[in-house]
Chain A
Amino acid sequence: MTPPTPTGPAEPVGPADARHYMSDYFRLERWEIPPADGAEGFSEFGGRMPVDGHHRGAGGGLRTGALLTNLDSVGGFLSGLSVLPRWIVTTSLMATVTRLDHLGPLRVHGRVLRRGRNSVVAGLEVVDEGRGDALVAASTGTFAVLDPGEMNVAFDRPAVVPMPRPAPDPPPPEEFFRIQPGVGTTTRLELAEHLRNPWGILHGGAVAVLADVAACRALAQARGRDGGPDPSGTVAHLAAADTVLHYLRPARSGPVEARCRVLGGPTGRALVRVAVHDVGADDRLVALGSVVVLAV
């Protein structure tokens, strides 16, 4: 899982536009790990992300929505390269998160678990370099294989995307992702252009960040309503952890709403169901999942 020394500039061929919006914001570095000489199989992939201050959540480390965005980016790149000249779109992400108090940077290692005719399954592990490579998350992503049409899927190989420099005045995730409170346990996202992926639809990472924010907000709302320990309804001591997301349909129109239902759980832990709707597209359900929210 140690990154190789980059062999030279290997930015993707063509304009580096929508393919990097998310990874630029989270400053995700990625590198392809080709099979050993003569070996068969698919490339593995590495990734590294700092834990910048404005990305830290209530648990002290990288917010889970941000972590999932990076897992989606690494898993998607890895899976896409395994099916060239076709490409992929994320259909599900499942993550088990074991630490929230990262020191960082975090390092991801991904590999193809299965490549089928219609889908690719990738397994990803995340360690905290600041904590002696302690495992902090494990994830499985499933990606549907599609004809890329006009999308640019040409890359220098092995593919390397260097870590972007810090932005001078980076916005917090809620601002970058255009997330605002809705009514009750609903949270809204405005579908800004920079939140679209190369397919032109809402990036899966944006859905993950929305689910994180919405689930924490929903639990705070429920606690406040029930006169619980946080009657103010704030999210100051709540953090998202284990997450399941199924991307059911593309979100193209917006605004997008995450409608939450707190299902319950033992003390200090609540399971929140999150249904994401594209309000501007006949309110259709575009993603469904769950987020475990912890009191921290």
Chain B
Amino acid sequence: MAAGGYPPPGHFLGDLGFRTELLGDTSAMGRTRVTRFVAGADGGARAGVLATLVDVVGGLLGVRVLQPDWMATADLTLQLVRPAIGPFVEARADLVRRGRTTMVIEALIFNVEEDGTEVPDPEGASAPVAWSTTTFAVLPGGNRTASQDLPFGLPPRLDIGSAGLDQPVLDRLGISRLDAAGGRISLPVGPYVHNSIRGVQGGVMALLGDAAAAEALGAATGLGASGVVVTDLQVAYLTLGRAGPIVTRATVLDGGGGLGGEGGPDGGAAGSAVVELVDTGAGDRLTTVINARGMAAHAFGASRPSAPAGWPDGAPLPVAP
């Protein structure tokens, strides 16, 4: 089911599948299944997938809080503290500020069962697997450019879903590798990844940055993308990606050898990178900047094999012609 026509059938968000629920006026939750098709090198949901989850939940809460105004994601941070192995992950979001021009939401993400029962950490304690914040720019309702069918009258509980993924999410998105060492990968743009105002959905951009950082850090450390878990994303959305393809380029700040002398692949750190996302169909316009950090999968707590085919399990990524 979608609300007000978004997301449409056959959309990326539907393929991931979410159950969302408003919990009063200032809180909301969203839950999605962790399948092998959304897993990263640690067997847990990729940081970019979790970023999509918090963007969706934050957007849901924003609709409630801001109406009749609208919003656009301005920045998003997500930091993993352990693998998000599920079987489901649940983002619990709270409004922390509603100003005239911005709204800030904080979310903690937990491993849960399908019914929301929390899965304790290895020590048996209740602990989140990730922490996240999202800042939304408030768009005055009178100047709204979104479709007329946007869902102001959201029901308190909403399921977004379709048949689900039958291949790794990066493959489904049609992402192709241009140059691993340079963190250059390419995303085609179309209705599958559109948000409600026909730009590329913010979570997709975060996921693209996640994948590009894994490529660059994997090349820099020799671990390969399949050996790197991107644990931290700091995403600044500058302008919408509309035309496409969206192509990334990455600058590796360090290949894991910096922090406190503990780094390098053997020490577990895979380094950090700045990833820029440019809209090549719009004059190479810079749309998004992402600071990302990675760890070697073995050091972060790789827990189970990931998807059997395609990224990130070693099978070759389709290379752009």
Residue numbers of A with Cβ under 8 A of B are: 59, 91-92, 94-101, 113-114, 118-119, 121, 123, 125, 134-140, 142, 144, 239, 241-242, 244, 246, 248-249, 263-268, 270-271, 273, 285, 288-290, 292, 294-296
In the complex, are the beta carbons of A138 and B259 less than 8 A apart?
no
Q: Which of B102, B104, B236, B300 contacts A144 (CB 8 A)?
A: B102
Determine the chain A residues whose CB is within 8 A of the CB of B289 once the complex forms: 113, 123, 140
Q: In this complex, what residue of A is CB-closest to B234?
A: A94
Q: Are A98 and B106 in contact (CB under 8 A)?
A: no
In whole Å, how far is B239's beta carbon from the nearest beta carbon of chain A? Answer: 7
Q: Which residues of A contact B271 (CB under 8 A)?
A: 98
B81→A288 contact, CB < 8 A: no
Contact B82 A135 (CB under 8 A): no
Report B254-284 residues with CB < 8 Å from chain A CB: 254, 258-262, 268, 271-272, 274
Option from B97, B106, B137 in Cβ contact (under 8 Å) with A118: B137
> Which 5 pairs between the two chains have the least Cβ-Cβ distance?
A296-B260, A94-B234, A98-B254, A96-B291, A99-B258
Which residues of the partner chain B approach A98 to less than 8 Å between Cβ atoms? Answer: 253-254, 258-259, 271-272
The verdict on A142 contacting B260 (CB below 8 Å), with A113-B236, A244-B234 known, is no
Q: List 20 A-B contacts (CB under 8 A).
A: A92-B75, A94-B291, A96-B232, A96-B234, A98-B258, A100-B258, A113-B238, A113-B289, A123-B236, A135-B253, A136-B258, A138-B274, A139-B291, A142-B74, A246-B104, A249-B97, A263-B81, A264-B81, A266-B268, A266-B301
B112: Cβ under 8 A from any A Cβ: no
Judge whether A268 and B262 touch: CB under 8 Å: yes
Q: A119-B74, A244-B77 are in contact. Are A266 and B133 (CB under 8 A)?
A: no
Main secondary structure of the interface of B (DSSP, over half): strand
How far apart are the CA atoms of A232 and B236 in the complex, in Å? 40
User: A121 contacts B238, CB within 8 Å?
Assistant: yes
Residues of chain B with a CB closer than 8 A to A289's CB = 133
B214 to chain A, nearest CB (A): 15
**Contacts A94-B236, A94-B291, A140-B234: A239 and B253 contacting too (C-beta < 8 A)?**
no
Q: Which of A136, A242, A264, A266 contacts B300 (CB 8 A)?
A: A266
- Selected contact of B261 from candidates A101, A144, A267, A273, CB within 8 Å: A101
Q: Using a CB–CB distance below 8 Å, which chain B residues touch chain A?
A: 74-75, 77, 79, 81-82, 96-97, 101-102, 104, 106, 121, 127-128, 131, 133, 135, 137, 232, 234, 236, 238-239, 251, 253-254, 258-262, 268, 271-272, 274, 286, 289, 291-293, 295, 299-301
Not counting A94-B234, A96-B234, A248-B104, a sample of 4 additional A-B residue pairs whose C-beta atoms are within 8 angstroms of each other reads A137-B253, A140-B236, A267-B268, A285-B96
CB contact under 8 A between A138 and B253, given known A121-B236, A263-B127: yes
Report the bound CA distance from A270 to B74 in whole Å. 26
Task: Establish whether residues B101 and A92, one from each chain, have CB atoms under 8 Å apart when the complex forms.
Answer: no
Neighbouring B residues of A241 by C-beta, 8 Å: 259
Bound complex: CA A96 to CA B289 (Å):
13
Most buried by B among A98, A118, A241, A246: A98
Q: Give the Cβ gap from A240 to chain B, nearest Cβ, in Å.
A: 11
A189 CB, nearest partner CB in chain B, Å? 20
A271 touches B79 (CB 8 A): yes
> What is the minimal beta-carbon distance from A252 to any residue of chain B, in angstroms?
16
Tell me, in angstroms, the Cα distance from A296 to B232 when the chains sit together.
Answer: 20
- Write out the residue numbers on chain A whose beta carbons fall within 8 Å of the beta carbon of B128: 263-264
What separation, in Å, do the CA atoms of A60 and B74 have in the docked complex? 35
> Residue A294 contacts which of B77, B232, B259 (CB distance < 8 angstroms)?
B259
**A residues less than 8 Å from B121 (CB atoms):** 264
Instruction: Identify which of A95, A99, A101, A292 contacts B79 (C-beta below 8 A).
Output: A292
Asked if A140 and B133 make an inter-chain contact with CB atoms under 8 angstroms apart, the answer reads no
**Shortest Cβ distance from A145 into B: residue:** B101
How far, in whole Å, are A55 and B289 apart by their CA atoms in the complex?
Answer: 30
Partner of A99, one of B74, B259, B274: B259
Contact B238–A114 (Cβ < 8 Å)? yes
A80 to B289, CA, bound (A): 21
Residues in A with CB closer than 8 Å to B135 are 91-92, 142, 246
